[in-house]
Amino acid sequence: MGQEVEVQARDGSFKAYLSRPAAGGGAGVVVLQEILGVTSWGRSIVDMLATAGYYALAPDLFWRMTPGVQLDATKPWEFAAALDYNRRLDFNSALDDIRASISFLRGMPGANGKVGNVGFCLGGTLSYLTAANTDSDASVSYYGSGVLGTLYQMPNIKRPAILHLAGADEYIPKEAQDRIAAAAKANSNVTVYVYPNAYHGFGCSDYERHNAAAWQLSLQRTLALFKQQLA
């Protein structure tokens, strides 16, 4: 369904995976990668959103380090490499790439000009930062472990955003989740959902920790937000 495209950034260009809605027309959604890169599962999310009627794009946010990274979390050496990419990623440059991706989708023939985003893991942190630092029309963050360290950004979120948290997340313990929820209460644009007994990465069907019930409920909420805000 999808294809690889080139997106022009401030300091170069990068590859991204794009899927278009079959009927044409509609809004855009930027899909922000896990620490593993733009994997087959990430591309399946792009395709799913296109089936739902969106122009969906997954930018390669590691392109300045190694273009085309696709790692397997079940292999310890590849997971270690993913953690290293995560550690070395320049978030300001990643936000520039996300802005370029938003502009790319707004310029698609037939697009209505509205663009949201959804991110997982590393992408969950970036989705939150995108909500606070760009003109994205709606943002959905899944288990972003970097949100806690950037709670000072919460007041900057001016458009609707969802933070999906896993109740049993080993990277975002309950105390951290409580602090995130408390900060979000001060901003009416932000809604926090916690999924009891779900683990970090519960959305990814490639993982044993995948929680189908939590994923389906979170996906309903995500698509409802996009339907409301991106029409």
Catalytic residues: 121, 169, 200
Angle between the 91-106 and 122-133 helix axes, to the nearest 10 degrees? 70
> What distances in angstroms separate CA 81 from CA 64, 86, 87, 227, one per listed residue?
15, 9, 10, 37
Q: Which helix (H) or strand (E) holds 181?
A: helix 174-185
DSSP one-letter string for 65-93: TSTT-B--TTSHHHHHHHHHHHHH--HHH
For residue 92, with 0-12 CB atoms within 10 Å meaning exposed, 13-18 middle and 19 or more buried, which class applies? exposed
